[in-house]
Each structure stands twice: as structure tokens, then as C-alpha cells.
Structure 1
Amino acid sequence: MSADTQEVPQLELESVIGFNGQVFSGLIVHPDREHIIYPLGCTVIIKSLNNNKQEFLHGHTNNVSCVTVSRSGKYVASGQVTFMGFKADVIIWDYDRKDMYARLQLHKAKVEALAFSPNDLYLVSLGGQDDGSIVVWNVESREAICGSPASAHSAGHCLTVKFSNQSDDTFVSAGHGTLRVWELDLPNRKIRPTECQTGQLKRIVKCLEIPEDDSFFYCGTTSGDILKVNFRTKLLNCCGPVKEKFSKGVNAVQVLKTGDMLVGSGDGSFSLCRGANFKPVKKVQLEGGVTSIALRGQGHQFFAGTESSQIYRFNYTDFKEELVSTGHNHTVNDIAFPLGTSDLFATCSKNDIRVWHTDTSRELLRISVPNMTCHAVEFMSDGRSIISAWNDGKIRVFTPESGKLMLVINNAHSMGVTAISATSDCKKIVSGGGEGQVRVWEIGKDSHRLVEAMKEHKATISCIKIKRNNQECVTASSDGTCIIWDLVRFVRNQMVLANTLFRCVCYHPEEFQIITSGTDRKIEYWEVFDGSALRELEGSLSGSINGLEISQDGHHFITGGDDKLVKVWGYTEGEVTHIGVGHSGNITRVKICSNSRYIISTSADGAVLRWRYPHPVSEQNPH
């Protein structure tokens, strides 16, 4: 396959589950009041509030670190992080056309914050800690007007910028011990800062809010208080409640038309505050620290985004939270579909297993095991239980409707359970561990018994697949071997060896061949009968292949890995037929749903993507 992915047809991306709640002020309601805009990995997502339809802005080469929208709604701007010594891009997007309007490159390593001037004339961008500069761009000419160091040498780095509401020539910047009001001097192509006098107060400002009339501006601090500064005199007017500070700092502030203020803090509390001392009159507790507040229209409705990748909706009158979007905020390790249905699927990550409705991407169930990581998950073929492998060495079995714990196998493996699979008669579970053992368990209603432990692998078991007749299974390990086991006599039938850490293995539906892949980027076909190598494909140009799945008709298979691409291959031709571009983290798993309508892929940044399966499905196998 050529390095140029443009020649291959693209997979159609239908839905993305996820939201990067670590980006401060990363959730925005578009001025049309019909869409919310937020980042996930290197993608900016535009989601309709009416029908949840999503559109995607692709163009960044690394994670999006900030996003903003112009007051007219004509432009969206986003900045990214990159590697030390490299330029971090700012992209201005044409909102109506949903494509790139300009790519701006001056900052190094990271773009910290962005703001449009009130009449869309200018965009101000703030570089991260390793860059430390503020640049003002002319939106129409797509060129930089001028730049300046963001803060004085004696102050720390700057964290946020905000334009005035009345003037295209004035904006505010704030951060570690720095608070400045800037004037743009266009004829001389300069920006001139005035330091705000805060007296003895030393604060780290995380967020800024400027009311419509520009009389004052408010600064949310890591100390948990809110500063109020006079825009004209640059003097501190008053300080937030000293007695009752916001726990874990103020991360987000919004002033409503009524004069009330919404405050989101690092401990997850979301407050409606009133009066000169910002006294909370209504307060709710959300999951994860609040990092974004976005108003819809006049502020009768608003949204809050949190660090744990949740988006909540509120109405001003009743101030009750409604969860509108959820996502994983850690690496997603595995995906599972119940046998014979594509309506729902499960994913597992750190702390939890989640069950999703496939068509609507809605979370139906969350099974939480705090501070533990689930490595693998599978539905039993009768649909009555979910089996899961955990890093504390336990196998946990849950009910799929309520998530109730049915059975725990303690000390199943000494170095964590890393892979798991169940026989089709639901009587046995085969598990693999970090120490390299493969164990077979007999499962009763409330009981379990270790039948056999097979000890030939020398390193972590990464994948287990069981043959349909339940008499044989194949295990892939990072010791460079895949072993085909006899599950009747519990001995090794065959072993295949390669100079790789195996990540995934699959039986062809006719079960005479297996295909494997791993860190050597090769996809290899092997004969089950004698373990001989049949063919080898170059699976990826960069990085290991972590996910592999064969379609039920055996004509195609899909792969995903560290090159962040989902690839669909012809099984016999060994050629790529389609490529999916959309992930920004390394892909961890790929799955084809039971009726071959969708492909689900997951990645290290917590994203779950749903793609349309591109091939017509021929006659299915009888299983």
C-alpha cells in the first residue's frame, strides 16, 4: 500500500463518543443556538442540539488545546499542542462551509488560548508556557499584525485571554501573577500592555469574564476567589468571599444578563451566585471538576463540561442538571458486542465498563470499580452476563441489565488479568494474565473452579479466541508466540513464532487459518493445522497494530493501531479497500458489529468512533 492514503476511499464516520473535558473553556454554544462545539483529540466536533447529528473539523496534527467562536458565528478557531521545538498551529474554520479558512503558525509547542475581537476583525492567540507570546492576527488577510511577550519577566506564564465586548482594540490577559489590559496600536503594528494593580494579592488566574458593558472584568483564581477589576482604571474593585472560597479553584465563570454569575470550580460544584460578594444561591455537584460553561442565547439555558468528559445541560429556572453527553476520560481497552445483535455494545476503561446504545451513542449502563482498570470485556453468548478482566487479578461477572456483580474470581492471575474469552455454551471462561499463564475456569450459577493452568507463554497474554466447537483456542502473547491449545486435553497443539509482541489474533470464520498482528506492523496469516506461515502483509507504516477483526463472511478484515487509521482489507487480495481518518489517539481495539453494519473503534484518548461498514455482506456463516 502506498504511503499516500488519499488514493483509497475513506470510511464514513457516523458518530463520535467523547469530549475532552481537560480543555478549559472547550465547550461553546454557537451563536445560532442550535449547535455546541467542543474538541476531542485532534478533531473539533460540531453537534446539533436538536437531533445530536455531528459534523467534524479535521486538520490538526495533534490534540486540540483550545477552541473559540467569533461573535457573528462566521468563524471557529482552534489551537493545538505539538512537540517541543515544533510549531503549534492555529486553524480558523469557516463555520458555514465546515472547512479550513486559514492555518496560522507562529507559536511553539502549544496554543494556550484564543479570542476573536467583537467584530471578527482580529484573532488574538496565546502561546503555552514554552512559547510565552501573544500574537494578534488579521482575520481577513490571515496574517499576523504584531506580537509581544505575554507577561513581564518577573511574572509567571499566561493562561487565558479575552477580548473586550465594545472595542476591537482592547483585550485582557491573565495567568500566574500576571493581569494585563492590552491596547492594539494598529498604525504602528504594536500592542501595548498596562499592568492591573492588585496590590498585595498574588493570584493565579484561570479564567476571565467580561460583562457586556465592559465596565469591569472578573478573574477566577486557583485560590478559589473571584477578583473584580475596573476596566478603565485597571484597579482591583473588590475580592470574592474570603470566608467561603470555591473549593479547588475557580475554573470557569459566566455572567448572565440578570447580573447573576455562574461559577464552575475544580471540585465539581457548579453555582449560581448573586450580589457583590458572589454568594452562591443555587448549587449542584457534578462529576469531575467543571472546566467549561457555555450559555445558549440569553442564558435561560446553559451547559457545563467537566474533566471526566461529561456535558450537562441546565435551565435557569429550575437549575437541575441533565446529563446530555458522556465519554471515557482514560484509554479504552476493549469493545464487545452481544451475540447476534448490534443494538448495543460495551467498552471498558479505567474505573468502569460502559454499555452504549449503538444508534444514538447514548450511555445505557455504567459499571464502576473505582481505581481499577478493566483490560478486557465480553458478553456471554446467552446474553445473561458480562465477563471482565481487571488489573487487580480478578475476573468479575456482571448482569448486563443492572450491572449487578454476580461472581468474582479472586487471584485469577498474579499480575493482573489481561485477556478473557468464554465458550459458546457459557460453561467455561479462558483467561490470560500478565505473568503469561492461560487458565481455564468452569463456571456454575454461583461457583467457579479452576480446571487447568497452561504455562508455556513467558509474557503478558494480549488476546484469546476460542473455536466455535469449544475444543480449541488460540492465545497471543507479547513474548512473540501465539499458541493453539487443545481445550480437551489442555496441551499445546501448535505454536507460531515471530519477532514481535503479538497484540491480536483472529480465527478466519472457516477456522483453518488464523491471522495475527502486533508491534512489528506486519499482518500474518498462519495455517492452524501445522502452524506454518502462509503470507505476510505490511499492515502499517508507523507504529504497532493493536486491533484486528475479521468479518463474518471472511471476505474482509479491519485493523487499527498507533498510526491512528482504521483500515479495511480484502482477506484474499491483502489490499486496503477503505481507510478511516478520525482518531487522534493510538487505536486500541476495532470491532465489526454482528450484522456488519458498523465498525466501532476505540483509542487511547478515550474516544469511541462508529463508522459505516463499507462492504455489502454476503451469505453469513451459520454461527
Structure 2
Amino acid sequence: AMAVETHGVPQLELEAVIGFNGHVFSGLRVHPDREHLIYPLGCTVILKRIKDGKQEFLHGHTNNVSCISVSKSGSYIASGQVNFMGFKATVIIWDYAQRTIYAQLLLHKAKVEALAFSPNDKYLVSLGGQDDGSIVIWNIETKQAICGSPASAHSAGHCLTVQYSNTNDNIFVSAGSGTLRVWELDLPNRKIRPTECNTGKLKRIVKCIEVAEDDQFILCGTTSGDIMKINLKTGLLSDCGPVKTKYSLGVNVIRILKSGNLLVGSGSGTFTLCSKTNFKTLKEVQLEKGVTSIAIRGEGQQFFVGTEAAQMYRFNYVDFKAELISTSHNSAVKDVAITFGTSELFATCSEEDIRLWHIDKPKELLRITVPNMTCNSLDFMADGHSIISAWNDGKIRVFAPESGRLMLVIDNAHRMGVTAIAGTRDCKRIVSGGGEGQVRVWELQPRCHRLLETMKEHKATVACIKIKSDDKECVTASADGACIIWDIVRFVSLQMVIANTLFRTVCYHPEEYQLITSGTDRKVTYWDVYDGSAIRELEGSQSGAINGVHISQDGKHFVTGGDDKLVKVWDYMEGVVTHVGIAHGGSITSTKIFSNNQTLVSTSADGAILRWRFPHPPSSS
């Protein structure tokens, strides 16, 4: 479907990405050139230059990237993806120097679980996910599969990871639940032959494998929180530890340093340097959420650590202190707000937090956290002195954007959570919408507030609120299939438009005589503000709801984003798509054009914030 929709339409240029999929095990890598970090986000593989943060993007996957590997020489990167049940999941081998697709390999069903290159760039081994369960060896030169085999001996086993020998192109290891095997490639007969490792009475589920540089042994990190050392030649267990204090929530990732000591990351966020002899902890740091990646730069004086909180840290071996180098949302971004007038700053919200960003630097300026709550919607007051926010605990919270200080709380603002919010231009009132369908207008006074009116016409969640520039009217879009234009001086409804859809978003055209709406029926509809009639209807998407719409300041273009993961820029008068942006791996939750019209920001359900070059220069009129 994607190919049909984007056919012949120019693509948007992606400028920057805030985001990192910290749930992909060993997804963060350092390229052997020591100059670039490599990591996945959505359908994209990102290359980020360490010295200045400059990003490049490898586009080619059609769904979320699920695993990454980099060849020893650095010539190739391989990445695997997930796909829908019943469909094949692609492995892409990238030519690193050219930043292009070298080969696309299609055999696995539904998901590629893990990838590993042989030491001399001859072969790539790929492991399919749970619905596939097979291991395939690929010849990199011919781009063909040499052979394949079920990953584990019996159907109950489920393989989770593969790792190649460091010296021999014909030997690799696989492990998981109920399976731990050393494989040998018999090239003349095009077969891979497994040898089961013997761990005696020790029954463990292996999450990760690390092979010693000289191939003498392998280390297996387990869900039980210990590490098994196995002789690679004999397949016998030679050691297991730490004996007393196991790693809580399992060992997610292990790296062996030149000294032989280990770096170990656990599911509970402990990151340690531990001794090669008895696995005893030498140094320890506690990070936010589970450690999922450890990437060593060069000889190991420096390393990078990625976590499930979508954070990246840099460590120096000597002082072993965590330096936070990048942060991003690790759950769905719900909304974006732009500061009025200037467009340097913007804010995003998600579960637990609001974050403030500078448009030119993808670095978090401020984080406001409300534990165990979800922020559904937010807005900057026009004077820039406050951020108003709507929360699922039924409260409206007002914060100072410089310090993050809580300035005001309106308790019990809505019965089933506050779902939408907007502030008037004069900064004296807030209009809020709730899960129960009520629309409420609040007056702000110094250090207090009062409820002016409750308007009860909507029958379901209020999804979006926009206030007219004169502060006398507003429009609310609801999941009940109605958009209502309200007089917020006399508190009566002036007009209602109805469609067979769950409305997700509504926008005034800058001249304010028309509205555009969209929602689950995939249509973008233009409405006349005065008589509520539908003027025009566009087919906004071929698959899935449209969740975000925003119109440029000159009214000539608008942008949409939704469940089809495509950002689309439209000509308002012509009603045609001028540009399409492909990079999101999750449903797009919101889209905004910045008022200088040079920038477009889109956010998605996987926590990503993407910045695109807006393709139409602003008109002088």
C-alpha cells in the first residue's frame, strides 16, 4: 500500500530525529571507524557522528527495525525488521561507505530476531523470530542464502540470539530458551551442523551471548541474573557466577574488554564492570530502566550504553561515570505545542512527562515529570509564561516553562480524565475537554482559578480544542462524530458539524471562515464556519485514522499524519499532496508546521520526534 500512495510524490527531507529504540537488544553500536553511533528508530537506521551529533539516515525498511549488526571491517551494516503475521520480514545489508542498500534478503516470517557477521565479512547469519524459528546463513558476496535449519532441536525451545566466532567464518553460536548450540558450516554440502552444549544440571534461559576474542570460551547472560562460561571447543560448562548477588531482572548484555574483564548490563538498570575470574563486581552504576546495549569504542577506553528509557550514556573506562548524551520519549508522544509567535521552542508530552526542546538542537531543555500519570494534551499560553496541560487523573496542571515549577493545579477538572486543552490569546482563560465529553471554561486569576461554565453537548471524549483569535469562539472535536463551534462569551453552541467518524483533530484556517477536520474515517473535510456545511472532502489516507492536522500560517498548505505512518504536506486550495515523509515506525500522533515555515515536526506512538524541512517557502502576501 505504501508504494501506491507515495508513487511519484516528492519526498520530504528529514533533518533531525529525536529518538532511539532502547527496546532493541544491542541496538546501539559504535562503528569500527570510531566516529559514528549506529542505532534504530522506527523504520530508520540512524548514523550519528559522535563529535558533533550530525545524523544520517538509512531508509529502506517498511516496518520497525528489530535488530542490528555491524561487520568487523565496518564495510557492512545489517538490520532486520518486524512485519505483519503471514508476511516475510526483510534483512537489509547496507554498504556503509556508500550509505546505500547492498542487498535485501527475504526468507524469515514475521520478524528477524538477531543478526551476526562472520569475522571476515564472508557470511551473515540471521535468526527468525518466534513464528519462524529458523537460522539462515547468507553469502554476502553472492547475496544468496547458503542454507538454513530450525534453530532449536525441539519445538518447545525458542532461540533468542546468535553470535559469530571471532576467528573462524564457519563457526557460530545460538542460544535462547531450552537451546544452546555451537554450529559449524559445512560449505561443500551446504549444511550447518549443530552441537548441543552441556550445562549439566544448570537450566537457564539465555538472553545474550558474548564470544571471547580468541574463541576459547563463550559467556551467556541469563534471565536468572547469572553468567555461564562455556568452553567453545568442548561445549562444556566451565564456570557460573556471580554466586551470591545475581543481576536483578536478568543479564541483558555482556561485553568483554581487552583486559578480559566484563561490562554487564541488567534488566533493572545496573551497569557493572566485573572481574573475569569470579564475576565479582568491581564498579557499579545504576541507570534509568533496563540496560539493553553496551557499545565499545575503539580499544575500550570509552563505551556507550543504551537503556529501555530511550537514554544513551557515555562512559570513560577510567572514572566509570555515566554522562547522559541523549534522551527521548520511550512511550507514545501524545501532543506537541509550539510557543506562540517565536518558533524556537516546542514541548511534547507522553506518559509521565512533558519535555521542552529547542528546534535547532535535538537536546532536551527541561523535563517535567508526574509519576504514573499520562499527559494527554498541552499548550503554551500566548505570553509564553506558562504551559497548560491535561492529565489522565482529571487534573489540569500549569507549569512555568523556564523552571518546570508547578504554578497551578485544577483538581477534578474532568471526571474521566482531561483529554484536550487550549488557552485564550489574552491568557485569562483555559478551555478544557474531558473523557466524559464535557467542555469547560476556566478563568485564571492571580494564584487561583474559577469555573465559568460547563457545556454538555458531546457524548464522548473531546479530542481537540482550538480557540479563535478573538477569544470569543472555540471549536471542539469529539469521538462522538461531532465538531461543535461554541460561543465562549455567552456559553452556547453556535454550530455543529456531524460525520460518521471519531474526530481526532480540528483546525481553523488562518482566515477563520473555514475549518478542517479529520479522524478515523481517513477523510480530511473542509467546513464552513457559519453554516456548518461540508465544503469539500479529501481522501486523506488509504489505511488508518488521521490523528494530526496543522495549517501553515499563510493558509496555503497543511500537514497530516496518522496510522499509516506517513507525513503528508497538502496544498490547501488544490487539495493535493505535494510531499510525503517516510521514516516513522509508529502511528503518527501529531504534526506541526513552525511559524517561520521552514520546519515541520511530527511525533509518533514509538516515542519519536522527527524534524523535516518544510518544502514551501512562506509567501510574502
Q: TM-score, normalised by structure 2?
A: 0.98
CA contact (8 A) 2:43 2:60 kept: yes
Q: CA deviation at 1:288?
A: 0.9
Report Cα offsets for 1:184-214 as digits up to 9, x if no partner: 1101111111111100000011111112111
Q: CA deviation at 1:564?
A: 1.1
* Residue 33 of structure 2: aligned partner: 32
Structure 2 Cα separation of the partners of residues 126 and 2 of structure 1: 27
Report Cα offsets for 1:45-90 as digits up to 9, x if no partner: 1111112111111111211111001011111111111122221111
Structure 1 Cα separation of the partners of residues 253 and 5 of structure 2: 43
1:132-151 aligned within 5 A: 132-151=133-152
* Residue 236 of structure 1: aligned partner: 237
Structure 2 Cα separation of the partners of residues 213 and 580 of structure 1: 46
Q: CA deviation at 1:177?
A: 2.3
Partner SS, residue 541 of structure 2 = coil
CA contact (8 A) 2:463 2:477 kept: yes
Report Cα offsets for 1:243-276 as digits up to 9, x if no partner: 1111111000001112211000011010011241
CA contact (8 A) 1:3 1:541 kept: no
CA contact (8 A) 1:340 1:595 kept: no
Q: Which moved more, 1:99-108 or 1:421-430?
A: 99-108
Structure 1 Cα separation of the partners of residues 468 and 3 of structure 2: 35
Amino acid at match of 1:580: G
Partner SS, residue 7 of structure 2 = helix
* Residue 165 of structure 1: aligned partner: 166
Amino acid at match of 2:441: V
Amino acid at match of 1:550: I
Partner SS, residue 315 of structure 2 = strand
Q: Which moved more, 1:198-207 or 1:562-571?
A: 562-571
Matched, 1:360 2:353: no
Report Cα offsets for 1:463-487 as digits up to 9, x if no partner: 1000111000011111111111001
Partner SS, residue 7 of structure 1 = coil
1:256-267 aligned within 5 A: 256-267=257-268
* Residue 594 of structure 1: aligned partner: 595
* Residue 75 of structure 1: aligned partner: 76
CA contact (8 A) 1:15 1:609 kept: yes
Partner SS, residue 265 of structure 2 = strand
Q: Which runs of 4+ in 1 moved over 6 A?
A: none
Structure 2 Cα separation of the partners of residues 171 and 488 of structure 1: 73
Structure 2 Cα separation of the partners of residues 230 and 40 of structure 1: 36
Which stretches in structure 2 are left out of the alignment for 5+ residues? none
Matched, 1:350 2:368: no
Q: CA deviation at 1:155?
A: 5.4
Structure 2 Cα separation of the partners of residues 384 and 560 of structure 1: 29
1:557-568 aligned within 5 A: 557-568=558-569
Q: CA deviation at 1:529?
A: 1.4
* Residue 21 of structure 1: aligned partner: 22
Amino acid at match of 2:380: F
Q: CA deviation at 1:3?
A: 3.7
Amino acid at match of 2:268: D
* Residue 422 of structure 1: aligned partner: 423
Amino acid at match of 1:454: M
Q: Which moved more, 1:514-523 or 1:611-620?
A: 611-620
* Residue 123 of structure 2: aligned partner: 122
For the aligned residues, what is the CA RMSD? 1.3
1:263-274 aligned within 5 A: 263-274=264-275
CA contact (8 A) 2:335 2:377 kept: yes
Structure 1 Cα separation of the partners of residues 603 and 413 of structure 2: 26
CA contact (8 A) 2:75 2:95 kept: yes
Amino acid at match of 2:388: I
Q: Which moved more, 1:447-456 or 1:564-573?
A: 564-573
CA contact (8 A) 1:112 1:159 kept: yes
* Residue 616 of structure 1: aligned partner: 617
CA contact (8 A) 1:155 1:178 kept: no
Q: CA deviation at 1:4?
A: 4.2
Structure 2 Cα separation of the partners of residues 200 and 354 of structure 1: 50
Q: TM-score, normalised by structure 1?
A: 0.98
Amino acid at match of 1:545: I
CA contact (8 A) 2:552 2:595 kept: no
Structure 2 Cα separation of the partners of residues 59 and 136 of structure 1: 22
Q: CA deviation at 1:2?
A: 10
Partner SS, residue 401 of structure 2 = coil
Structure 2 Cα separation of the partners of residues 510 and 85 of structure 1: 49
Matched, 1:105 2:106: yes
Paired residues in the alignment total 620
1:370-519 aligned within 5 A: 370-519=371-520
Structure 2 Cα separation of the partners of residues 83 and 573 of structure 1: 35
Q: CA deviation at 1:594?
A: 2.5
Q: CA deviation at 1:575?
A: 1.4
Amino acid at match of 1:113: A
Structure 2 Cα separation of the partners of residues 541 and 81 of structure 1: 21
Structure 2 Cα separation of the partners of residues 445 and 281 of structure 1: 55
Partner SS, residue 135 of structure 1 = strand
Structure 2 Cα separation of the partners of residues 201 and 397 of structure 1: 55
Partner SS, residue 367 of structure 1 = strand
Q: CA deviation at 1:154?
A: 6.7
Matched, 1:287 2:291: no
* Residue 95 of structure 1: aligned partner: 96
Structure 2 Cα separation of the partners of residues 105 and 148 of structure 1: 15
Structure 2 Cα separation of the partners of residues 26 and 265 of structure 1: 15
CA contact (8 A) 2:5 2:542 kept: no
Structure 1 Cα separation of the partners of residues 511 and 135 of structure 2: 62
Structure 1 Cα separation of the partners of residues 296 and 3 of structure 2: 47
Structure 1 Cα separation of the partners of residues 387 and 173 of structure 2: 53
Matched, 1:208 2:192: no
